[in-house]
Structure 1
Amino acid sequence: MITVPRIRRLDIALLLGLLGLALWSQPGRSESFSEKLTRQLNANAQREALNSLSRGFAVDEAAIKATLPDGADRRMVLRTRASLYEKVADFERAEADFSELVALSRNDPAMYLDRGYFYLRRHRFADALADFATGARIEPRKPVYPYAIGRVHAAMGAHDRAIESYNDAIRLDWQDGRSLLARAEAKINLERYDEAKADYNRALRAALRDRNDRFFAFLGRGYAALVTEEWEAAVADFDRALELDEKAFSAIVWRGYANERRGRIDLAIDDYERAVSYDPSDANSRSSLQRLRSK
């Protein structure tokens, strides 16, 4: 029998590289020569700025602003530069820019949210909690702040406290799919599987727009079904998860286990073979495959 690991869903902050910002995506319409030239010059400036950052050099605000669309204000400049500093692991300069953003807009809760997530990514939990709490005081009717507080508690392993924060977020917006998913994850970690399945169901009914969120909803609900020995339901959810990410290793292995337990040895072998092809070093998958082939 294979060991079924616990699901872990991590909030991964997408650091905006200069060349990856949606604002700078190439337009679909045909461009004039001057537009093409401007875009090329901006791309060159972006590469130069990123190269300077990666060498540990400071980049002045004018250099960043030159790469941004017309009308970009200082807050956009600082936010962009802070993200770039963080991307190249210059955390001191990144924090300085995030803090300057807060100083410029002390009544703008979004600035506290940005810096709070920076602190969370740096595992500075007390600082993150302080910023998220400040944002919540300024904008008490937005669920993003209690949700963020819950993410800090979850990162600290305090899943009961995380659930309390997610409850606050859901009271503000009962269809907040992200908070429902996070609460389900916390309940998985507390082995409250039936409650977790109920939250996954609610999240999926909330019409999750993000593909990644839908993937984790099916994966998490499938895992809850797996540990409660609902094999058919588990396979169905892992099928849906794999439609969204066909190389999701956990979904493949867990589906193999569920197929084995429901007597579909042929499908279990297929899943374990697929898992081994993706990760030949995984001892559990290789052992399960050898065991089933020997029957």
Structure 2
Amino acid sequence: MAGSMAAAPARADAVDQANYCFVYTRGGQNDKAIDACTKAISSGDLQDADIVSALINRGVAYKAEGRLDAAIGDYTRALKMVPQDALVLSNRANAYLGKGDLDAAEADIRKSLDIDPEAAGAWYVSGEIRQAKGDPGARKDYIQALALAPDNETYRAKVAGK
């Protein structure tokens, strides 16, 4: 009985850390996000869905800090748990793009778009990859992103050629 009593506070702490991880990531507080995500992930007290969420958030924070290999590592680990997750594939494609590994980026973004062709962000990343490859078809991907998210100023600027 004592063991079960100790597990509840540990699980609650892990969930709190996962929640902080999300809040700090969304707030751009990358160092705090990485710390909270790492604590949540390493706790051993999270359900798989919460681990995947923490890995995604930590990957976002790592990428924002320019730690692309760490971001790719987190996305790869998440994909072992949810191999058909379009968002994780798109995020990893974006990190590969940041590293200049355009072939890996393209492979991931194609899989992502096969899974979820309505993801505006994935179309934008696809456009970025195609632009990096010198493919004039990149603009079509930006137009598709804007069609799916017409209020997005970044997509609108890309379509306008800015």
TM-score normalised over the length of structure 1:
0.44
2: distance between equivalents of 1:188 and 1:286? 27
Counterpart in the other structure of 2:54: 179
- The count of corresponding residues between Structure 1 and Structure 2 is 148
Q: Could you say what secondary structure the match of 2:160 adopts?
A: helix
2: distance between equivalents of 1:259 and 1:201? 22
| Letter of the 1:203 counterpart | A
Q: Could you say what secondary structure the match of 1:157 adopts?
A: coil
1: distance between equivalents of 2:124 and 2:82? 27
Select 2:68's aligned residue among 190, 193, 209.
193
| Letter of the 1:200 counterpart | Y
Select 1:165's aligned residue among 31, 36, 41.
36
Select 1:268's aligned residue among 124, 138, 153.
138
Going by fraction, where is helix more abundant, 1 or 2? 2
| Residues 139 and 218 of structure 1: CA distance in aligned 2, closer, same or farther (over 3 Å) | same
2: distance between equivalents of 1:144 and 1:232? 37
| Letter of the 1:201 counterpart | T
* Bigger radius of gyration: 1
* Alignment RMSD: 2.9
- CA displacement 1:9-44 (0-9 Å, x = unmatched): xxxxxxxxxxxxxxxxxxxxxxxxxxxxxxxxxxxx
| Residues 159 and 283 of structure 1: CA distance in aligned 2, closer, same or farther (over 3 Å) | closer
2: distance between equivalents of 1:287 and 1:157? 27
* Deviation larger for 198-207 or 226-235: 226-235
| Residues 261 and 155 of structure 1: CA distance in aligned 2, closer, same or farther (over 3 Å) | closer
1: distance between equivalents of 2:82 and 2:157? 38
* Deviation larger for 192-201 or 141-150: 141-150
Q: CA deviation at 1:137?
A: 9.4
Counterpart in the other structure of 1:237: 108
Counterpart in the other structure of 2:3: none
Alpha-carbon contact 2:25-2:58 (below 8 Å) kept:
no
Query: Relative contact order: is structure 1 or structure 2 higher (C-alpha 8 Å, sep ≥ 6)?
Result: 2
1: distance between equivalents of 2:53 and 2:146? 32
Identity %: 26
Q: What stretches of structure 2 of length at least 5 have no aligned partner?
A: 1-5
Alpha-carbon contact 1:272-1:286 (below 8 Å) kept:
no
| Letter of the 2:32 counterpart | R
| Residues 152 and 194 of structure 1: CA distance in aligned 2, closer, same or farther (over 3 Å) | same
**Residues 1:259 and 2:130 are matched in the alignment:** yes
Counterpart in the other structure of 1:284: 158
Q: What stretches of structure 1 of length at least 5 have no aligned partner?
A: 1-135, 289-295
Q: CA deviation at 1:205?
A: 0.8
* Deviation larger for 148-157 or 217-226: 148-157
Q: Could you say what secondary structure the match of 2:118 adopts?
A: coil
| Residues 257 and 186 of structure 1: CA distance in aligned 2, closer, same or farther (over 3 Å) | closer
TM-score normalised over the length of structure 2:
0.74
2: distance between equivalents of 1:287 and 1:156? 29
1: distance between equivalents of 2:20 and 2:103? 36
2: distance between equivalents of 1:198 and 1:275? 27
Counterpart in the other structure of 2:25: 154
